[in-house]
């Protein structure tokens, strides 16, 4: 068996450090939208106020519907995300440019806003999944 750590030492090389990204160095304050810096992203994730994370690829993004001024609905091949809050037009423009990296629902108990924060706030996030079973009283037939 080859020991890669010793092999790097023998070659006088150091293991590479992972590159810093948009989520490193955050100060813990609430950000509804984190954009990718300097490039487009292949994927993004959405975080609920409970801390659940759903990852999405732009290749699976079907589209979105922005209803001024409070609601943005995002459709992917597997999920529907309905976001209600302020500043949804900024999130919609970020989707258009494919620079959304992270969207986060606001949790009034644990999140804090920076003084003077004027960015978007996702006050409510509803998620529907293609994997969810319909309620038993639903008229749709299970296939």
Instruction: Tell me the C-alpha distance between 85 and 92, whole Å.
Output: 12
* Tens-place pLDDT, residues 50-68: 999 999 999 999 999 999 9
Q: What are phi and psi of 6, to 5 degrees?
A: -70, -35
The pLDDT of residue 137 is above 70: yes
Q: 3-class SS at 59?
A: helix
What are the residue ranges spanned by the domains of the chain? Answer: 33-129
The pLDDT of residue 22 is above 50: no
Give the residue from 50, 55, 48 showing the smallest Cα distance to 79.
Answer: 55
**In which residue are the tokens 């809050």 written?**
85
Give the residue from 99, 45, 91 showing the smallest Cα distance to 71.
Answer: 91
């Amino acid at each position: 068996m080859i020991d890669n750590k010793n092999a790097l030492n023998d070659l006088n090389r150091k293991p590479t450090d992972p590159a810093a990204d948009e989520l490193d160095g955050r100060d813990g304050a609430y950000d509804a939208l984190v954009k990718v810096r300097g490039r487009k992203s292949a994927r993004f994730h959405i975080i609920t106020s409970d801390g659940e994370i759903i990852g999405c690829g732009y290749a699976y993004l079907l589209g979105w519907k922005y209803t001024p001024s409070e609601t943005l609905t995002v459709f992917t091949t597997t999920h529907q995300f309905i976001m209600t809050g302020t500043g949804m037009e900024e999130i919609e423009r970020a989707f258009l440019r494919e620079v959304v990296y992270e969207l986060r629902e606001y949790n009034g108990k644990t999140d804090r806003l920076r003084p003077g924060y004027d960015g978007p706030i996702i006050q409510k996030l509803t998620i529907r999944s293609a994997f969810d079973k319909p309620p038993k009283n639903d008229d749709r037939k299970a296939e």
